[in-house]
Structure 1
Amino acid sequence: MTIRERTEELEERMLAPYAALSKKSLGRDAAEEPCDIRTCYRRDCDRIIHCKAFRRLKRKTQVFLSPEGDHYRTRLTHTLEVAQIARTIARALRLNEDLTEAISLGHDLGHTPFGHAGERALNGMIPGGFRHYEQSVRVVEKLEKDGKGLNLTKEVRDGILCHTRGKEASTLEGRIVKISDRIAYINHDIDDAQRAGVLLEKEIPEKAVKVLGASRTARINTLVHSLVENSRGEELAMEPRVQEAFDELHAFMYEHVYHNPCAKGEEKKVPELVEQLFDFFMNNPQRLPDQMQLIAYQEGLVRAVCDHVAGMTDHFAVQTFTSIYIPNSWTS
């Protein structure tokens, strides 16, 4: 018996009856020999961590554009915080922790430069619109490994696709990631907004503080405990008063931070930058990387330009824009 088979046997004995067992995965699009050490979901975690799109997350905006301080979240640190929260919940509910982690690590791989501002800009330029969760699936299925994709399991791809809006994930592990994503970003964005001077502690709704706690740690602890203690079988739920306070905090953040003209002042420059980059590559397809030129041939130029711009980091987008549109100083 291999180490993987022993792990699969342990899963069957220890996990809840409604957990997604590695042994019963729906598999991958392209058949592969199983690893003798890792389960299929553990293998997916490793593939995501080692891919280029995951590394690029370190230079993609979470809320504040290209912050100067080292302590602000990026899309990468957000992803790691989601994974930590989701793993804790999955372990407590006896669900598949590896599947939960894999979905968490991959959920934002398709995010654009400049966070949701970049996403909104691309959404207005692409027939049918642009949604980062769909692009995340495209990254792992098509764009990574020079067009070969990561060949992840169906359960991981389903969880990535369903982590934000629309239909629910087919697994409880995927639904946990959706909740954990919200727990993570609301609380760490409060922390960053206070650090930036955009939000004062006294401005946080009194009810939310009373029910959830006055600190980031306390709030996360309350939310996780409430979810673990009130979920029954295949039903994930928080205590009603905790859910109500969390929803109030979510609405507060949208009004006071996510739409705050001070916090989001620089975002007004994003649409023009993204649009000009998009137009440039539409008019100069020969400047696209080789992989994107192949996609242009196979799926059309719009699709290729969208993939190229969406994959840029904040820094690379600005650098590319500068090299195209800003003249260099003359030197002898």
Structure 2
Amino acid sequence: MTIREKLEERERQTLSPMASLSAESRGRQFPAEPCPIRTEYQRDRDRIIHSKSFRRLKHKTQVFLSPEGDHYRTRLTHTLEVSQIGRTIARALGLNEDLVEAAAMGHDIGHTPFGHAGEYALREICPLGFDHNEQSVRVAERLENDGKGLNLTWEVRDAIRCHSSGCPSAQTFEGRVLRYADKIAYINHDIEDAIRAGVLTEEDIPFDIKYVLGRTKSDRITALVMNIVENSADDITMSPEMQKTYERLISFMFEAVYRNPKAKGEEGKARDLVKYLYTHFTAHVEKMPEEYRRIAEQEGAERAACDYISGMSDRYAVSLCEELLIPKFWQL
């Protein structure tokens, strides 16, 4: 037996009947020889981690636009926290940790610069619409690796596509774990970042929320994870009381942070910048890199502009706008 086959056999013997076994994956877009060492989901994780779109996450906004401090989250550190929480839940439930990790690593690779401000801007201006979860799948299937894609398994792509609220549930339990891990990660690290930025204090969090979840980030994450583990049987779920508390926390964060001018005051500029880039490149397709000009020929300028802009880091988008808008001084 190869090492991979031994790992597949270990999965059969140790994982829950609800788990997605690597050996029983629905497969990839294009046939590929199995790896002698890694299972299919381990291989997907590695393909994502080694991709350019994954590396660019380190310079994409999570909540605070291009934060100067070393300890604020970026889209990359958010991704790592989602992966850690997802693996913890998966391990406790006997699910496939490798599938959860691979999907977590790829769930935001199609996210825009400037966080959700960039996403909303493209959604508003592009007639095709825009959702970062669908774009993440498109990056994996179409854009990465010089247009060849990453050729990920069906299960990983399904989990990525379905991780956002408002989307249908993923077909695998691991994909449903990812959705909860994403929620738990972002709400808790956004609280911590907001406290660091002076936008919020622990004392501002309503008592009824602290009564259920605890008073620290660690307490909150532990309470949410434990509740999911204890209440998940035929599906991945929270108890009704915990779901109500989580929704109460989300509402509080929208009031205190997500709509706070101190935290989000620059988002209007970010939206305008993204819309300007979209308008410019749909009108001047020839100004985009060759790979996006090819997409424009095949799928239209709107699709190509969305692909190009959503792949930009915050700093690249700002630098490009400066290049397009600010005149250069004449040099002798």
Alignment TM-score, normalising by the size of structure 1: 0.98
- The alignment yields a C-alpha RMSD, in angstroms, of 1.0
The code of the aligned residue for 2:28 comes to R
Matches within 5 A, 1:135-174: 135-164=135-164, 165-174=166-175
Task: Report the CA distance between 1:308 and its aligned residue.
Answer: 0.5
> Which residue of 1 is the match for residue 313 of structure 2?
313
* Distance in 2, Cα, partners of 1:85 & 1:276: 37
* Distance in 1, Cα, partners of 2:261 & 2:217: 24
> Which residue of 1 is the match for residue 178 of structure 2?
177
SS in 2 for 1:127: coil
> Which residue of 1 is the match for residue 292 of structure 2?
292
SS in 2 for 1:241: helix
> Which residue of 2 is the match for residue 190 of structure 1?
191
Matches within 5 A, 1:240-279: 240-279=240-279
Q: Identify which range, 240-249 or 138-147, moves more after superposition.
A: 240-249
**CA displacement, residues 205-228 of structure 1 (integer Å, 9 cap, x when unaligned):** 111111111111111011111111
Q: Is the 8 A contact 2:100 2:174 kept in 1?
A: yes
> Which residue of 1 is the match for residue 104 of structure 2?
104
Gaps of 5+ in 1: none
> Which residue of 1 is the match for residue 49 of structure 2?
49
SS in 2 for 1:199: coil
Task: Report the CA distance between 1:75 and its aligned residue.
Answer: 0.4
The code of the aligned residue for 1:203 comes to D
* Distance in 2, Cα, partners of 1:148 & 1:187: 36
Q: Identify which range, 202-211 or 152-161, moves more after superposition.
A: 202-211
* Distance in 2, Cα, partners of 1:243 & 1:87: 21
The answer to whether 1:203 aligns with 2:204 is yes
> Which residue of 2 is the match for residue 32 of structure 1?
32
* Distance in 1, Cα, partners of 2:95 & 2:220: 23
> Which residue of 1 is the match for residue 331 of structure 2?
331
**CA displacement, residues 236-275 of structure 1 (integer Å, 9 cap, x when unaligned):** 2333333322221111111211111211100011222112
* Distance in 1, Cα, partners of 2:184 & 2:271: 28
* Distance in 2, Cα, partners of 1:255 & 1:20: 39
The answer to whether 1:85 aligns with 2:85 is yes
* Distance in 2, Cα, partners of 1:212 & 1:13: 35
Alignment TM-score, normalising by the size of structure 2: 0.98
Q: Identify which range, 235-244 or 96-105, moves more after superposition.
A: 235-244
Gaps of 5+ in 2: none
Q: Could you list the runs of 4 or more consecutive aligned residues of structure 1 that deviate by over 6 angstroms after TM superposition?
A: none
- Number of residue equivalences: 331
Matches within 5 A, 1:208-227: 208-227=209-228
